[in-house]
Amino acid sequence: MTAERKKTRPIKVQPEMGRRQFMVRVGTLAGVSTVVAGGGLWLHGDEPVRHRAVEVLTLKDFRVPANGLYPVMAVVHGENVETMVREAVQKLGGLARFIHKGDRVLLKPNVGWDRQPQQAANTGPELVAAMARLCQEAGAAAVWVTDVSLNDPGRCFARSGIEAAALQANAQVMIPGKEDFLATDMGGTVLRVWPVNRLFHAVDKVINLPIVKHHSLSGCTLSMKNWYGVLGGRRNQLHQDIHTSIVDLAAAVRPTLTVMDAVRVLKHNGPTGGSLDDVQKENTVIASLDEVALDSYCLNYLALRPEQIPFLAMAEKRGLGQVRWQNLNISETQVS
Amino acid sequence: MKITLPGLRSIRRLYALFFLALFFFLLIIADFRRMQGFNVRLFLELDPLVAIGGLLTSQTLYKGMIFSVIMVVLTLFFGRFFCSWMCPLGIMNQIVGLGAGGLRPSQRQGLNAYRKIFRFKYHVLVVFLVVAAWGGLQVGLLDPIALVFRSMVVSVLPAVDGVMGLGIYPNGPVFHGGLVVAVVFLAVLLANRYLPRFWCRVVCPLGALLGVLSRWSVFGIQRDVEKCTGCNKCLLSCQGGCEPNGAWRPSECHLCMNCLEHCPEGALHYGLPKKGSSVHQPLDFHRRRLLETAVGSVVLFPVMRHSVSATTVDFPMLIRPPGSLTEEDFAKRCIKCAACMRVCPTHVLQPALLEGGFEGLWTPMLINRMGYCEHHCVLCGLACPTGAIRRLSVDEKIGRPPFVEPIRLGTAFFDRGRCLPWAMDIPCIVCEEVCPTSPKAIWYRPITITNRDGHAVTLKQPFVKPDLCIGCGICENKCPVGGKAAIRVSSVGESRSSTNRMLLTTHPGTPFSG
């Protein structure tokens, strides 16, 4: 059988390997070995996982220089939101003082909850739209609207009317996703490095658009508290020291301008509300360059006194503004 | 001149015995009393599959894993000798396969012929490498060294020790799901009775990797076609099924050298080809099928990242050993070898089944009713070959200067419905007694109450101070309330995670991933 097989199957023999071929073979393997060993040494390390160093950013100061010619705060009463916003900004020197041609502007309304405008748990959409149009008129290169919502963000932006209003005013809406946060050093007493919505690192100017609301833990949620919305992560831990957290946030985010929505005010069951019985019309818009004074002023709508709200005195101590707004240059007007 | 080296098989046998003995030696001395300065990680560090898998997931060759380069280079020149000369699992398979000696020669020759099914292992390798390239390290499931280590540590050794009382494990441990691991291991061994070296020839991804590296080896089994009579006696004990009787397959051959001894004509030798040496065969794989496997594997990792597992969700009951990397990085490094479970003095370290999701199968977790993390022990990090558990100093672990914070594994919580002083007016405070931190994380408030019988009783009701608790689990372990303890650790507050936290101020700021 073996003999048969030998006949039927051609026997293949390796071509004889000359010295030259042998050297080439060994040389190639030696080369490969060198690459393996060199690569191994190059990649060798004491760190189990190679990471790109995470860059920790800091927020820039978005404020414009102070100007004594204009009041620090402008309170406007009226019926039409856009008229009130224009009047309030005009009193502070006009938007050209704050927004320059080509600026990328970020509007930060409160879009925390899946609530409709009349429930007053979110900033009113007319205010957001009016501010966006003003920025466009001032020559802003881009106007963004963003917030980090507590309820489902898609529903919050849709049902608050803010998404539609912003888009209609040619602003862009950014609903931050998981990847939209950058490690940022807040430099605070309790707030150190936290994930911050990346838009805050990409724009030139930031305008705070809060709404006056009752809040169960801090007493009120006004302009300084509105900065919770820059943070991602487990920000509900901030409740463990809410007053220091609010001051830390206000110290880290210094906006160009703040325009407070006191058209509808959520007087009870804040910050979520839900019943129209909790809401009362105050028909007021307030523009301010001093968040402490603004928040202190707005306590009137909630029947609170500054002494009841610890973060106000703490913020004043930190040099963020004045609790006694009565001492400041304030304008108060009525428009139709 | 005849260049056959009659001694090669004997030399291989000596090496095989040496490495098997070394493997067991390093396994048995791997505990607090006997470890000394021995490198108990050696076999895992020599393993090129573990090295390449880890390299793909984490772009680094960690510490001792540089030794695997030696294996790669030797294999490039000499072939896939590792499998029958060094690999503990390969050698065990060979020993179990000796049973085939009872068969008729023709049957043995049939069993040792090459089969197309041997291609399967290259598919196994491709699946693991593609998943690793995405960032998921699962090679440990089937890597032979990890498999044999795990099988020994959590099933075979404890059982043998329990029956024979050898004292390998001073505390007679039981292991979570040890039976499953044992069944897999026994299946691997018993498969040799179906086909000798079934594991090595058909399944082993490390064998496949070494096979690829052996493709161009300088030295090989050479058959003199003039001397060969085609008697096929070389197949009698062939380990690789590598066709030394025809066109030899370097990628399948373990260089067991049995064929050299069995050849009555002296037609075979190991070395360089001579005039009249038969041709060799390239790696046998179906290019399209292999490509299909690779493409199919591409979806595995993204699916893993959208499945509920410890890498995607914080699991409250998954408590990792001290010094463990963040779960995402841990999954890039842990090869499920169970070396940490071998050295753990209290055997609190247990192989997870599905506690960390499917991805975390057989990774280490603490089960505090089985043991607790010994305050001054850092052996698990020392035993870990891949750095999934970092090597800590005792100072770093317990937070002694210059370190500011201790390593926290989680936080203990009281179950006031079960706690004796809280629920039943019975004095206890064992948890406070055993709490190892200084000052103690568990403290109590004395309270005088009137009990059911109308007597005034003073009780000490315990509390946890969460910023002092390190989650070592000794309170849960020693709690006198049997079954479910009245104080239990969950993973929240663990140092390694930037998200699994509850306190605003204890943890110094660390970069967040989002």
In this structure, is residue A263 part of a structural domain?
A: yes
Which residue positions in chain B have pLDDT lower than 70?
A: 1-6, 100-101, 506-514
In whole numbers, what is the pLDDT of chain A averaged over residues? 93
Query: Within 13 Å and on the Cβ side, how many CA atoms surround A113?
Result: 18
A207 occurs within a structural domain: yes
The structural domain count of chain A equals 1
- Greatest Cα pair distance, chain B, in angstroms, is 106
Q: All domains of chain B, ordered by start, with CATH?
A: 8-218 (no CATH), 307-409 (3.30.70.20), 411-490 (3.30.70.20)
- Whether residue A268 is contained in a domain is answered as yes
- Residue A39, classed as helix, strand or coil, is helix
pLDDT at A1: 43
In a domain, A43, yes or no: no
pLDDT tens, residue by residue, A254-313: 999 999 999 999 999 989 988 999 999 999 999 999 999 999 999 999 999 999 999 999
Closest to B65 measured CA to CA, from B73, B54, B77: B54
Per the structure, the complete domain to which residue A115 belongs is given by 73-334
ipTM: 0.85
**Token pair 């090869």 in the structure block, residue:** B335
Give B307-325 as a 3 state SS string: CCCCCCCCCCCCCCCCCEC
Close Cβ partners of A90 (under 8 Å, ≥ 6 residues apart) = none
- pLDDT for B511: 42
Q: What is the predicted pLDDT for the residue at B513? A: 38
Q: Which residues of A touch B271 (CB under 8 A)?
A: none
The pLDDT, as a whole number, for residue B32 is 86
Q: What number of C-beta contacts closer than 8 Å exist between A and B?
A: 133
Contact: A13, B225; criterion CB under 8 Å: yes
Closest CA to B79 of B231, B183, B222: B222
Is A330 within a domain? Answer: yes
Q: Is residue A65 part of a domain?
A: no
Give the DSSP letter of residue B370.
Answer: T
Residue type, position B309, single letter? S
Interchain proximity A237–B272, CB inside 8 Å: no
Contact between chains at A233 and B499 (C-beta distance less than 8 A): yes
DSSP string, B398-422: HT-TT--SPPP--EEEE-TTT-HHH
B436 preceded by a cis bond (ω within 30 of 0): no
A314: phi then psi, degrees, rounded to nearest 5: -65, -40
Contact A32 B76 (CB under 8 A): yes
Separation between Cα atoms, residue B16 and residue B255, nearest integer Å: 12
Contacts A179 to B, Cβ<8 Å: 514
Cβ-Cβ contacts under 8 Å, B69 against chain A: 36-37, 40-41
Asked if B277 and A245 come within 8 Å (Cβ–Cβ), the reply is no
Q: What is the DSSP letter of B31?
A: S
Closest partner CB to B273 (pick from A12, A17, A44) = A17
Smallest CA–CA distance, residue B274 to chain A, in Å, is 7
Question: B500 to chain A: nearest residue by CA?
Answer: A234
Residue B218: list chain A partners with CB under 8 A: 22, 25-26, 29
CATH number of the domain to which A105 belongs? 3.40.50.11440
Instruction: Identify which of B61, B69, B280 has the shortest CB distance to residue A45.
Output: B61
Rounded Cα–Cα distance for residues B302 and B82 (Å): 34
Nearest CA-CA partner of B492 in B425, B411, B422, B437:
B411
- Domain assignment present for residue A6? The answer is no
Name the strand (E) or helix (H) holding A230: none
pLDDT of residue B172: 81
pLDDT in tens, A203-233: 999 999 999 999 989 999 999 999 999 999 8
B434 near B440, Cβ under 8 Å?
no
Calculate how close chain B gets to A176, using CA atoms only, in Å: 11
Chain B CB contacts of A49 under 8 Å are: 57-60, 325, 329, 332-333, 387
Tell me how crowded residue A324 is: count the other CB atoms within 10 A of its CB.
Answer: 12
Disruptive mutation site among A14, A25, A44, A217 for chain B (greatest number of B CBs within 10 Å) = A14
Helix (H) or strand (E) holding B143: none
Evaluate whether residue A215 is within a structural domain: yes
Is pLDDT above 80 for A4? no
pLDDT (0 to 100) of residue B126: 97
> What digits encode the pLDDT tens for the residues A126-180?
999 999 999 999 999 999 999 999 999 999 999 999 999 999 999 999 999 989 9
pLDDT tens column, A109-139: 999 999 999 999 999 999 999 999 999 999 9
Residue in chain A lying closest to B52 (CA): A40
